[in-house]
Structure 1
Amino acid sequence: MIAQGQTLPASSLSQLTDEGMANHQVTELFADKKVVLFAVPGAFTPTCSNAHLPGYVVLADQLKAKGVDIIACVSVNDAFVMKAWGDAQNADEIMMLGDGDASFTKSLGLEMDTAGFGGVRSQRYAMVIDNGVVTQLNVEAPKAFEVSKAEAILASL
């Protein structure tokens, strides 16, 4: 598993924007930026939709006031699903990124097998990234939702 102090591995994530599909190289996307990246097991799932994403939507301005350039949400879903979920949640300030084949998630060592509802998914986590280097990593225990909340990340900044 990736650790604090390590550089994000080269990988790509997709984003559906109003202009079309964008495939982002993670190393380029997060270069020279302070980023809060949080991951959820699945778009439109209960905890993710009722608490995790909404917390970042509500606190986006406060996070940005602490010097955060990008707030990004990633899930092992395609970019179409991530856009629809972001639109449904009014997540205008959140970059909704799809990791459709789980390659980014696997490169971090943060995948989990959820054969009962979806196969390979991401663990729930949040990280702070400075110029591509992980400066904080908060990975949730199974079925927990405490350390990756927007409130916890805001308090740590």
Structure 2
Amino acid sequence: METEELQNLNVHHGHNIRRIRIEKGIKQDAMAKLMNLSRPAVSKYEQTKVIDDEMLHRFSKALDVPVEYLKALEENAPSVVFENITNDVHDNNDSVVNSTGYANVQNATNIFNPIDKITELYERLLKEKDEKYAALEQRIKNLEQQK
């Protein structure tokens, strides 16, 4: 144990692991397979306040996050999303095997940038608005010509 960890009482390694696992959409069974552990062992680690460095390194590789993040994340800290899509290759099961050698459970086609999706939706709404205005203007012209 590091003295810094003892001083920071709001850090709980197991809760950090659980939090990141859930944020990444990984079930405990899948995490157990990634770690070569049983599901009850993963559950036990997720309830352990201080986990040894070797096991934290294994969890950080499986979750594809820096080990310092698992060590230092406080209980009520805001979420941080780690995306490291570079140097990823697909295996035969369409899962992504990253540069650490661990497979991400999420399918690569499910990874998207929320800002891109918002922009796409906004552009589509603007286009629909412009089309409605054009249709209304055409109807007004037709009504004026009928008078």
Asked which structure has the greater CA Rg, the reply is 2
Question: Given the two structures, how large is their TM-score scaled by the length of structure 1?
Answer: 0.23
Report which of the two has the higher share of strand.
1
Flag the structure with more relative contact order, 1 or 2, with Cα contacts below 8 A and sequence separation at least 6.
1
Question: Given the two structures, how large is their TM-score scaled by the length of structure 2?
Answer: 0.24
Report which of the two has the higher share of helix.
2
